[in-house]
Amino acid sequence: MESACVLVPRRSTCLCRQRGELSPHQCASAPAQATASPAACYQELRRFPAVTHAALGSTAGGQTFLLYTECSRHDVPRHRLLRFSRHYSLQRTAGGLAVSRAALSAEFHNQLLSQDSPSGQHRAVLSRCPWQGHELLEVWGSSGRSHSVDLTALGKHGKVYAEGPFACLAWSHSEAQLLYVAEKSRPKPRPPGPWDVPGAARLVEEDEDEGEQFVYHEDWGEALSTRSVPVLCVLDLVSSRLSVLEDIPEHLSPGQALWSPDDRGVVFVGWWHEPFRLGLRSCSNRRSGIFHLDLASGYCELLSAECGATCSPRLSPDGRRLLYLEGTVGGPHRQCLRLRMLTWQTRQTVTVLEVVQEPTEAFAGIYTEELPPRCWAADSRRVVLSTPQRSRTDLLLVDTEAATVTNLTAESPEGCWELLTLQWDLLVATCSAPNSPPSLVVAVLPPAGQELPLCWVPVEDAPTVPGVTWKTLTVQPPCNGQSPTAHSTQAFEALLLSPPESMAPHPLVVCPHVNYRGSLGFGQASITSLLSRVGEQDVADTQLAVEQALHSEPLDPHRLALLAGSHGAFIALHLLAREPKRYQACALRSPVSNLPALLGTSDIPDWRYVSLGLPYSFERVPRAEEVATMLLRSPIAQVAQVQTPVLLCVGGRDRRVSPTQALELYRVLRAKGVPARLLWYPEGGHALTGVETEADVFGNCARWFLQHVGQPWRDRMGRHST
């Protein structure tokens, strides 16, 4: 199979994955010479690093700044993630910014977290000692290392949370204390020794722990299986004293903490975990609140709404305003969020930006999972954030007093922007597109009212993938008399990646992505339109996008393939059953195939009800008619119609969609004589991440398509089929 077009029907999470993650379909759209070997193609596309962290430091005079970045890149031959730092000098001039390299790149090992102090004079680094496994918290400055504390040896808590929704590492304003989140220390049962006599008397404290060794401890689900009971910890750098904050209510799990303006308390997000925990990864609909804990009195105050879903508290530079995101508890796992702001002294809260039901050309709503760690401008009035806007991810500037929004990147050719940091009115961001890896850029934020046009200066530029172009297709659903609401006929979008026109007609690889009419970036009404219509509206939208592409683009209708994951795989399986002869090959990752079977195996059982328009409560037990409805909407119920060869890739540790879903599907396909192959990655989770795993999935998907899609059919005159 020569180079293929790639169609991604979506209502947008973003044009390409954040921080340069490579999506498997990019190989299919690379030029023919690059796809001769899937492994060579993968290594070529993986050589571009992703910027994962950035921090700015100011020198005397305030005209020269030091930019520190942390990057990562897959070292495929060695099956490891290569992590390294880069340093730059930014000089403010009359013409804008001048950028130069300040030092050579340097690899770093075993680092888990790093955070610069407010002045930029110190850097806190959390690392793990490779030979002992101990976690060390160190502070570095211009004179070298000033502090080093072995947190594990102190025994005050379990492992520090270095990533995920709870994680943080926050300096106090005085730069004398550090705040972070760790797992609560759990007593370890003493293993029996050879000197223990059966039936002999034991110490009282040993008797208290008897029978506790195999007690089940809940965790927070997919990708958070080691997160159960988080605690807030404070390290005093003056006294080297480590404290675990004890006054947080027991029904809350704290995270995303920062210091209050006077350093006398801490602000944190608290998630309710009673009566039991539901999966938190990629779920902004869990009940949570913004709290303030006074360190002197131990009083814990709720600052946000009683029954909301909040996250990302960000304090303004002047310490007067606290910004955060707020959504609705329950419903779809990702929603349009409102932007809220609290005045610290008065405790009065206002809504800066409300939930957008129907998008406008100027603003489609806020859908990001978190605000950038540093998002405030120096005037403590404006903030910058990145969020999906239709099929783009743009940078938006919000005036918190005027409640206005300015899209800073709407006119840029790149479709995916991410803000890394905003300090001293210097913006550091990455921009990318489906055919272009992330480039690091900087800009000066002009005064209020003069933000456009913004002049971006490249720091590290990444070349586009040669021979690949992309565009956005607008797809208009037909009017359905049974559902005359606005969202039932609202247009959605699909992205088309294409190789050179000279190679037409192209095969087409269709990549369904959550959720079409029902995905992010097009208003809350669009998101809720999918509820009760899963397996119908999303499938119909995908097929409509395919038909439009086949009619308007130079594509070969006899060589179509499906590449999808999770709910996208659910849609792909429905397509295979509905049109058994349409697609020649299918490759699926972590597929959803049997909805009722997920009720007792998924970390998000609530979605099984909500997706069908049914209410959910913690005490709910499924009724027979509800299980029957779920089964009728499941691809497994129509799998007898599938004829297309199917490749299945699953992770043995997937907590969101049990790998037994794919195993059941694999067995049924094999029994019917349909070509099927199952790849089982024992340590893989739902996203199938990891250097070796991602490379293997990519290569197997590419080879599956090369094997089953085949070469173009030509008639006796040598002409391509139409």
Which among 27, 20, 21 is positioned nearest to 698, based on CA atoms?
27
| Radius of gyration of the chain measured on its C-alpha atoms | 27
Q: Alpha-carbon distance 557 to 595, whole Å? A: 31
Q: Which residues, including other chains, have CB under 8 Å from residue 421's CB and lie 6 or more apart?
A: 54, 55, 56, 372, 373, 374, 428
Q: Sign of torsion, CA 334 340 345 347?
A: negative
Any idea which residue has 């609560």 for tokens? 184
Q: Alpha-carbon distance 72 to 19, whole Å? A: 9
User: Can you read off the two tokens belonging to residue 656?
Assistant: 């969101």
- Pick the catalytic residue: 394, 654, 658, 696? 654
- Pick the catalytic residue: 566, 593, 611, 634? 566
Q: Alpha-carbon distance 70 to 50, whole Å? A: 9
- Whole-Å CA distances, 459 to 89, 108, 409: 10, 21, 17
Q: Is 566 a catalytic residue?
A: yes
- Whole-Å CA distances, 488 to 11, 334, 516: 14, 20, 12
User: Can you read off the two tokens belonging to residue 162?
Assistant: 């270095």
- Pick the catalytic residue: 506, 574, 686, 708? 686
Which among 234, 260, 232 is positioned nearest to 124, based on CA atoms?
234
Longest dimension (CA), the chain: 94
Q: Alpha-carbon distance 16 to 42, whole Å? A: 16
Query: What one-character DSSP code corresponds to residue 258?
Result: E
Q: Alpha-carbon distance 56 to 267, whole Å? A: 24
Query: In a 3-state reduction of DSSP, which class is residue 690?
Result: coil
Write down the H helix ranges in 175-306.
204-208
DSSP string, 417-482: EEEEEEETTEEEEEEEETTEEEEEEEEE-PSTT---S---EEEE--PPPTT-EEEEEEE-PPP-TT
Query: What one-character DSSP code corresponds to residue 270?
Result: E
Q: Is 686 a catalytic residue?
A: yes
Q: Sign of torsion, CA 160 84 101 454?
A: negative
Any idea which residue has 């102090």 for tokens? 117
DSSP string, 76-132: TTTTEEEEEEEEEEEEEETTEEEEEEEEEEEE--SEEEEEE-TTSS-EEEEEE-TTT
Q: Alpha-carbon distance 359 to 390, whole Å? A: 9
Q: Is 217 a catalytic residue?
A: no
AA identity, residue 531: L
**HSE-up of 711 (CA within 13 Å, CB side)?**
2
Beta strands at 288-294 and 404-407: parallel, antiparallel or unpaired: unpaired
Q: Sign of torsion, CA 307 309 312 318?
A: negative
Q: Which residues, including other chains, have CB under 8 Å from residue 536's CB and lie 6 or more apart?
A: none
Beta strands at 64-75 and 252-259: parallel, antiparallel or unpaired: unpaired
Active site residues: 566, 654, 686
